[in-house]
Structure 1
Amino acid sequence: MRGHRAIAWAWEARTRLPAAQVPPERWVPFRQRLGLAEYCLQEVVRREPANVTAWTGLITVARGQQLSADEQRRRFDAAVAHDPDNYRAHTAMLQNLCPKWGGSPEGVRAFAERAARDAGEGSRLGTLVALAHLEHWVDLDDAPGRDYIRSAAVRESLNDAARESVRHRRYVRRRDWALDANAFAVAFLVAGDDEAAAMQFLAIGDLVTEFPWRYPRRTGGSLPVRRHGRQRPHGLVRRTGPAPPREAGRAEGATGRGQGHPGRGRPPATKKRAHRPAARYRPGHAPGWRAGRGGDPGPRTLGADRDLAALGRATGSSS
């Protein structure tokens, strides 16, 4: 737990900006906090070599520390050796292969397609194909990006992946299944496949996740989504036709005398529902994201600096 919180804390220091735009003073705490995460997670895998969650965190740390491709692959192989279809390990490795981290679009797509194919029918790893195409799309300028994402080859690839994953009868809606449906909804939407996108919107309902609707574009910003309450992309769900009729009792009571009774004037007052604060995680919201606020909850504890100092002593370096 401490290792994963240190990863979120590190990215809080770095921000989500491209590397060229990150202020120089932010790199020092970023590397220090990643060092803390590395230390904590390595301790876990030494004690529990089959801990896939810890190995997944180490894949992300390898990305931030810019470790060699062989080391990144070693960590990924250690994770999938114990859980071959682990979604978090695969998405972490997919990010490591992106051009923004030194990889290539071809490598990302090959990794996604191979993982989806090896996982078999009904696996959620088909979502990797949608994410791979979106990653390439966001790196392109407007015209080349539109030409790429709307090409017949990409549409066919997306439909094939959806057919073997979210549309398949063996697909199981797990705790965070809405992430899969939202990924395909975004991909089909920008690809111009309205019919396929509509199928995903029907499945999603109002469980719209922040990711990937806020996928940053190199040009043109990001796809907008409301950040309060239950999320809904602007302009995607729109009422058509006349407004629904009011309840019969309230309509009949509009001209009656009396109050507080259906059919006799004013409708009865309903009891106010008690306010319930949003949970840290709810199905339909990206893991680690505070519903209604956005951002990763970093380890804002008084012990964080103490952990860095302990790490410096343990590794023989100063913090």
Structure 2
Amino acid sequence: MSSSIPLFQKFGYRFSWVGMIGLSIILFWGIMALIAPHIIPHPVGEIVDEDYFGAISSRFWLGSDYLGRDMLSRILMGARYTVGISLAAVSIACFSGIVLGMTAAVVGGWFDAALSRFLDAMNSIPGKLSGLVVVAAVGSSINVLIVTLAVIYTPGAYRFARALAVNIHAMDYITVARTRGEGILYIIGSEILPNITGPVLADLGLRFVFIVLLLSGLSFLGLGVQPPYADWGALVHENIGGLPFGAPAVIAPSLAIASLTISVNLLIDNLPQKIRDRSA
């Protein structure tokens, strides 16, 4: 008996229930990131509880933090920064890496060699170390975080896209396209890109997870999103003192990070079979 969902089978996609669960959680956090300012029960910076690290109650569904602020409101607003910054960074990194990788594979020669060696050198620097150095030196504004994270993960996206593009570029139909006199833009856009879409989407999802974890790590060290704003990593950092009390102020944002990253992995592992077949 097939575990796929009939709704997606009508459109030629075979999507498992596990993939749908992952997709549903991702969509939930994406929607929360968009509508959070309109649904949070309390202003994120307002002290609404007389007791710090307050317990879960009918008024405070996830308790309160170290200052008595509502944790549910802060987690929902934190989704805007965790999801938003990570999505912007991974979009820039993957777009830059894919374009450069395909171009290097098609052009070849000195351009390919020089670009590959330069990005290899960048890739050899540990991501967290370079992120710490840049953010500590320049500052941790949202724009700096996005650019820093994008630069860190562009070399990996480039290597992955170039490896795929080199294999496709060796195919006979690429030779035929060159014989017809097609240019580089046509070969990249019409011949190579459609044939690497599936693996590229999977790689984008993985890099999104890496960026979420790196951003959370930077925020936990105090170098991420700065007060009064906070992403999920910053929420863990500022409430870590409440862990001995068993307060949900530490557990809840940690579970939010885990739910998002695990869901992306579940979705990647259960991509519709039609996408896999197309990219095979």
TM-score by length of 2: 0.24
When Rg is computed on C-alpha atoms for both structures, the one with the higher figure is 1
Give the TM-score, by structure 1 length.
Answer: 0.21
Higher relative contact order (CA 8 A, sep 6+): 2
